[in-house]
Structure formats: structure tokens, C-alpha cells
Amino acid sequence: MADQSEVVQSAAKWLADNWHTIERPIIPRLRAAYALTMLEAIDAMRMARGIVYPKKAPAPD
């Protein structure tokens, strides 16, 4: 059995790969597909968003 954090990471990767095509609402879909708690699904969403929209480094002065 996979460690729960690995399941959250797997869900985040899947969500990032499908970010622009997945039907909304996302949280119930993640919870059903990966057996996540509400907080785990939110963490997976945050991780996926960071993959899809990485923060840009600040411009040098």
C-alpha cells in the first residue's frame, strides 16, 4: 500500500497534467478517485497549481 503522501503527490501530478481539461468541481473528484480527505485533496490542488503556474523568480535589482 502506498504512503498517503505518495497518494497526494500522485493526485497532484494527475491534476496538473489535466488542469485545463478536468471538469469542476475538482475536490470531490480527487476525493473519490484517490480516497483523499478534504485536507489532502486541498493539498493536492495546491501542489498541482504550483506545477501548472510556477512562481517566477524576482527580477534582479
Instruction: pLDDT band for 19, please (50, 70, 90 cuts).
Output: very high
User: What gap in Å lies between CA 53 and CA 45, rounded to an integer?
Assistant: 12
Residue 41 has pLDDT above 70, yes or no: yes
Is residue 43 in some structural domain?
yes
What single DSSP character describes residue 61?
Answer: -
Is residue 57 in some structural domain?
no
Q: Residue 39 CB: number of other CB atoms within 10 A? A: 9
**Distant-in-sequence, close-in-space partners of 16: CB < 8 Å, separation ≥ 6:** 47, 48, 51, 52
User: What gap in Å lies between CA 34 and CA 45, rounded to an integer?
Assistant: 13
For the chain, what percent of residues have pLDDT higher than 70? 95
Average pLDDT of the segment spanning 39-53: 95
Residue ranges making up the domain that contains 39: 4-52
Is residue 42 in some structural domain?
yes
